[in-house]
Amino acid sequence: MVSKLSNGHRQQPRFLIWGGNGWIAGQLKRLLQEQGKEVHTTTIRMENREAVLSELLLTKPTHVLNAAGCTGRPNVDWCEDNKGQTVRSNVIGTLNLADACYQANIHCTTFATGCIYQYDKTHPVGGRGYTEEDRPNFEGSFYSLTKSHVEPVLSSYPNCLILRLRMPVSDDLHPRNFVTKLLNYERVVNIPNSNTILHDLLPASIMLAEHGETGVYNFTNPGAISHNEVLTLFKDIVRPELSWQNFTLEEQAKVIKADRSNCSLDTSKLVAKLKEYQYEIPEVHEAYEKCFERMKAVGIE
């Protein structure tokens, strides 16, 4: 596909993925290579202005895919104790990279998060989901706080596309896959959430970037699915002997440092946009079923 740049010129896209060693970055790189696209990766720190500018000058991408971010290890609880480093990456770095791309006339896609909302009276479990226009109402973790504060500033740049992922799921049992996390927890809460099945959404991210789309998109499959529904599907399709234990949100709160976001996102804007490109993303239950069937087909058990 030939991309239209914001200066009106057309040229073959050259992708540069930031956060090159990360989980989502690796999957993006593989997908672009499979599509026969030119793709480069970098691990340069986003907050290092000079190094970012040099990298852009050297590689001359038409599109930056920013899959870098401070996510915490083993989980986001880490960000509670390392706020300086979290701000440098998720606020200063993310904005610096977007700004450097803006100055160089490069399209910049940021892989952001939808974990900036929580169910409330007007958006209850089973009710309407949060749209891109709703103000974030979840600041229970420092990670989410950095992400929700940076988004409105980032979205004011005319070259920026912001994709809000939630609980991403890959077709393997990588430790960062949301399903792997569920399988490894001693006990799980059971609450519906919007999830991002990467097999469906990563191709959509490339499509949106190539078409020069900008603005904020809830970037999940339509619908919401509970943890027990996910595990039941996994048991039915992949691992018949699976069993698990539930606990309440109150009990969960005792074993985690930062609170966790639970919410459903409205995907109407994304669905309508992708329809323009004849691309459909399956409803989340159907998407999980297909994902687990792909896992089973390659022998994952």
CB of 93 to ligand NAP, least distance (A): 4
Nearer to ligand NAP, 82 or 296 (CB): 82
* Position among 3, 71, 109, 155 found at the interface with ligand NAP (CB under 6 A): 71
Which stretch in 6-14, 45-53, 183-191, 236-244 sits in contact with ligand NAP by CB under 6 A? 45-53
CB of 255 to ligand NAP, least distance (A): 19
CB of 199 to ligand NAP, least distance (A): 15
Which stretch in 40-48, 199-207, 210-218, 251-259 sits in contact with ligand NAP by CB under 6 A? 40-48
* Position among 13, 61, 129, 168 found at the interface with ligand NAP (CB under 6 A): 168
- Encoded one letter per residue, x for contact with ligand NAP by CB under 6 A and - for no contact, window 92-111 reads -x-----------------x
Decide if residue 56 touches ligand NAP (CB under 6 A).
no
**Residues 31, 45, 152, 64: is their CA dihedral positive or negative?**
negative
CB of 73 to ligand NAP, least distance (A): 7
Contact set for ligand NAP, span 212-251 (CB under 6 A) = none
Total residues contacting ligand NAP (rule CB under 6 A)? 21
Which residue is listed with tokens 């990298």?
55
* Position among 13, 61, 69, 222 found at the interface with ligand NAP (CB under 6 A): 69
* Position among 16, 95, 98, 165 found at the interface with ligand NAP (CB under 6 A): 165
Decide if residue 67 touches ligand NAP (CB under 6 A).
yes
Nearer to ligand NAP, 5 or 205 (CB): 205
Mapped to the 3 state alphabet, what secondary structure does the chain carry?
CCEECCCCCEECCEEEEECCCCHHHHHHHHHHHHCCCEEEEECCCCCCHHHHHHHHHHHCCCEEEECCCCCCCCCCHHHHHCHHHHHHHHHHHHHHHHHHHHHCCCEEEEEEECCCCCCECCECCCCCCECCCCCCCCCCCHHHHHHHHHHHHHCCCCCEEEEEECCCECCCCCCCCHHHHHHHCCEECCCCECCCEHHHHHHHHHHHHHCCCCEEEECCCCCCECHHHHHHHHHHHCCCCCCCEECCHHHHHCCCCCCCCCCCECCHHHHHHHHCCCCCCCCHHHHHHHHHHHHHHCCCC
Decide if residue 113 touches ligand NAP (CB under 6 A).
yes
* Position among 15, 28, 47, 258 found at the interface with ligand NAP (CB under 6 A): 47
**CB count in 10 Å sphere of residue 281:** 22
Nearer to ligand NAP, 5 or 20 (CB): 20
* Position among 3, 62, 89, 218 found at the interface with ligand NAP (CB under 6 A): 89
- The amino acid occupying position 118 is Q
- Rounded alpha-carbon distances, angstroms, from residue 268 to 255, 273, 297: 35, 9, 32
For residues 232 and 151, give the distance between their C-alpha atoms in angstroms, rounded to a whole number: 35
Residues that bind ligand NAP in the complex, under the rule CB under 6 A? 19, 21-25, 45-47, 67-71, 89, 93, 111, 113, 165, 168, 176
